[in-house]
Chain A
Amino acid sequence: MLRFVLSRLLTFLPTFFGVTLISFAFIRVLPGDPIIVMAGERGMTEERYQEMVVKLGFDKPMLQQYWDYLTGILQGDLGESFVTKQPVWDEFFKLFPATVELSICAMILAIALGLPAGVIAAVNRGKFFDRALMTSALIGYSMPIFWWALLLIIVFSGNLGWTPVSGRIDLLYYFDDVTGFMLIDSVLSGQEGAFKSAARHLILPTIVLGTIPLAVIARQTRSAMLEVLGEDYIRTAKAKGLSPQRINGVHALRNALIPVVTVIGLSVGTLLAGAILTETIFSWPGIGKWMVDSIFRRDYPVVQGGLLMIAVIVMIVNLSVDMLYGVINPKIRKR
């Protein structure tokens, strides 16, 4: 087992360095001089320019610059935002909980609906239920979520007036961040109606972000279930006279879950990509919106740092899923 963990870590390291190299290269391959971009329309004096070159380390040899960058990262130093002058690291972790909260809700929605849908479709293979569910899943999978978001806004916010259009909570409520998760903080604040407001703000973004993972999970669960249902031990269970609920829900689902868990783990990247669109549309103050805004503001240190942080998080999650998979299924370890 230790060998398995070590071998996975060994493939993690080169990828990590590659990712740092890409984010390091990002600011240097941009067309134009980042320092001039930073100065904006006011421009800057020659003296100030030279000062900035030294401050950003552009006067040193490339290799030295990369080394400084790398040691900086490992100490949590991702540079400062051009716009807010705040450390990128701090900004990232201030906004990250908002994205995590949204992603967790979306994932819960996707699992809560996708797993049963997949099981029901597999058990009723070829029948009406199966067709209807799988057609909906394929539609969900093909959905341009930015359009889906606009449609939901038209119906639920515009016509019915049920849900708010943007933000995380009504402006009426104000309280300090404790955990960064609005649902928890609103309860902790003890203000009446705050939790309800936070929850209502979450509904539409959750549906939008959860749609594609939901479709993927439903499809994957169905095909995994179909494979398992053909196995001999299921026939044995049937012959023993177990109820169909027990066979499908316990005997089959348990084994079908292994590939499904992998898919769930690997959809973290999809979620973060979806968060870019979802957060932009709903003005959700998370890292997806932060990245898009920074790209438009040409706030390059933020783009660079955010890109690196997101990639590292995706890599860590994938690595954990990989290892978890090895724990669940001993056959994987041997390879």
Chain B
Amino acid sequence: MVDNTSSNGVTRPGPLREFWYYFRENRGAVFGFWFFVGFVFCAAFAPWLSPYDPTEQFRDHILQPPAWQEGGSWTYPLGTDPLGRDMLSRLISGARYSFFVGIVVVTISASSGIIFGLLSGFAPRWLDSVIMRVMDIILAFPSLLLALVLVAILGPSLTNAMIAIAIVLQPHFVRLTRASVLAERQKDYVTSARVAGAGLRRLMFVTVLPNCLAPIIVQGALSFSTAILDAAALGFLGMGAQPPTPEWGTMLAESREFILRAWWVVTLPGLAILVTVLAINLMGDGLRDALDPKLKRS
């Protein structure tokens, strides 16, 4: 058991509590956090929350405006799209795809990025150089362009879009992990662990990695929002999820020709992307404030 009691008898709060204490100070971050919880809720329970099937077409109610506008009705609270599909149901199901994209991309890019970063930080110089040059090469291409070309090779689909985005985002994790590993390796506790006989694998994953996690978590939050944006952009260009998938970017692309006739089919999916990305970025800012010890007010 870890003894949390310091010499003057004051208990130190647990790490989660301490984190929340600092996180709470940033009101925007708290807002972002609660919005994100709502977003995850929508994603998890989409089939039960949405009033209709997102691909069901009500041919008698094509391009019906939202309920509060003339001609709208509460049967379709946010109106219908050019094929008569319920916008609200499609938006809720869209949350599912965006959340899925974010989770998968961050998991792939962060885990491979952390492993390469750790390797690079501990490896002999030549291997370090090789890994870093490869990352430089990936970073030389504008991310969306590289993702677009990768999807052109792999074929347009949501899965391939996720793979492409994960590849493009991964170098950031490698660089970040390597930088913090190099900083941590100098410290005494690592030397003492090594003297105590810790093997390389133990040193990497048990001794050093937990102390490098703070910036990686922040990067993870930012990558989550970037992944959602890029997947939507690919969908918009016709290289991501394919119709009739209710992915937000794909929905925007489908409704482009109606922009002057039916504002809701264009405005709502974009608004969903913006608010979600904004909430995650707000949360990321809060995470950075709470996790970065340099910014903590003692």
Interface residues of A (CB under 8 A from B): 11, 14-15, 18-19, 22, 26, 29-31, 135, 138-139, 141-144, 146-148, 150-151, 153-154, 158, 269-270, 272-274, 276-277, 280, 291-292, 295-296, 303, 307, 310-312, 314-315, 318
- A295 in complex: contacting residue of B148, B269, B282, CB < 8 Å: B148
Distance of A142 Cα from B36 Cα, bound (Å): 15
Inter-chain CA distance A302–B28, complex, in Å, is 45
Q: Is the Cβ of B149 less than 8 Å from the Cβ of A295?
A: yes
A-B contact pairs, 14 of them (CB 8 A): A22-B141, A26-B149, A138-B28, A139-B278, A142-B229, A142-B278, A143-B274, A146-B252, A151-B266, A158-B259, A270-B142, A277-B236, A295-B149, A307-B141
- A-B contacts besides A150-B259, A150-B266, 11 pairs, CB < 8 Å: A14-B133, A30-B153, A138-B28, A147-B273, A150-B270, A153-B259, A154-B260, A273-B142, A307-B149, A310-B141, A315-B140
Assembled-state Cα–Cα distance A312/B141 (Å): 8
Mark B residues whose CB is within 8 Å of A.
28, 133-134, 136-137, 139-146, 148-149, 152-153, 155, 225, 229, 232-233, 236-239, 249, 252, 256, 259-260, 263, 266-267, 269-271, 273-274, 277-278, 281-282, 285
B144, B252, B274: which contacts A276 (Cβ < 8 A)?
Answer: B144
B141 touching A311, Cβ below 8 Å: yes
Contact in complex: B236, A291 (CB < 8 Å): no
With A14-B133, A18-B133, A26-B153 as known contacts, state yes or no: A276 contacts B148, CB within 8 Å: yes
Q: How far is the CB of B288 from chain A (nearest CB, A)?
A: 11
Docked-complex contact A295 and B152, CB < 8 angstroms: yes
10 cross-chain pairs, A with B, having the tightest CB-CB distances, nearest first? A147-B270, A18-B137, A273-B142, A273-B144, A142-B278, A142-B277, A158-B260, A272-B142, A311-B140, A269-B142
CB of B123 to closest CB in A, whole Å:
17
Provide the bound-state CA to CA distance between A280 and B155, in Å. Answer: 20
Most chain A beta carbons < 10 A, residue from B236, B271, B281: B236
Give B109 Cβ to nearest chain A Cβ, in Å: 17
A29 to B149, CA, bound (A): 12
Q: Among A26, A273, A296, find the residue whose CB has the most chain B CB atoms closer than 10 A.
A: A273
Q: Counting chain A CB atoms within 10 Å of each CB, which of B145, B152, B237, B260 scores highest?
A: B145
Say whether A151 contacts B144, CB under 8 Å.
no
The CA-CA distance from A238 to B116 in the complex, in Å, is 49
Assess whether B134 is in contact with A18, with CB atoms less than 8 Å apart: yes
Take A150-B266, A154-B260, A273-B145 as given contacts and tell me if A139 and B274 are in contact as well, using a CB distance cutoff of 8 Å: yes
CB of A31 within 8 A of CB of B252, answer no
The residue in B137, B143, B252, B273 that gathers the most chain A C-beta atoms within 10 A of its C-beta is B137
A314 touches B141 (CB 8 A): yes
**Closest-CB distance, B160 to chain A (whole angstroms):** 11
Which residue of A has the minimal Cβ distance to B276? A142
Closest B-chain residue to A300, C-beta based?
Answer: B152
> Given contacts A31-B153, A151-B267, A314-B141, are A144 and B148 in contact (CB under 8 A)?
no
Q: Which partner residue on chain A sits nearest B232 by CB separation?
A: A144
How far is it, in angstroms, between the C-alpha of A300 and the C-alpha of B269 when the chains are bound? Answer: 33
A34 nearest CB across to chain B (Å): 12
Report the bound CA distance from A86 to B267 in whole Å: 40
Of chain B, the residue at the smallest CB distance from A139 is B278
**Residues on B with beta carbons closer than 8 Å to the beta carbon of A150:** 252, 256, 259, 266, 270
Residues of A within 8 A of B142 (CB): 269-270, 272-273, 276, 310, 314
Q: In the complex, A150→B295 CA distance in Å? A: 39
- The distance in angstroms between the C-alpha atoms of A30 and B140, with both chains bound, is 21
B270 and A144 within 8 A (CB):
yes
Q: How far does the alpha carbon of A26 sit from the alpha carbon of B282 in the complex, in Å?
A: 38
Knowing A142-B225, A144-B232, say if A291 contacts B273 (CB, 8 Å).
no
Contact partner of A15 (CB less than 8 A), chosen from B136, B232, B259, B281, is B136
CB < 8 Å neighbour of B229 from A22, A144, A295, A310: A144
Known: A26-B153, A150-B259, A315-B140. A272 touches B145 (CB 8 A): yes
Which B residues lie within 8 Å of A141 (CB)? Answer: 281
State A277–B282 Cα separation when bound (angstroms): 25
**Residues on B with beta carbons closer than 8 Å to the beta carbon of A303:** 149, 152
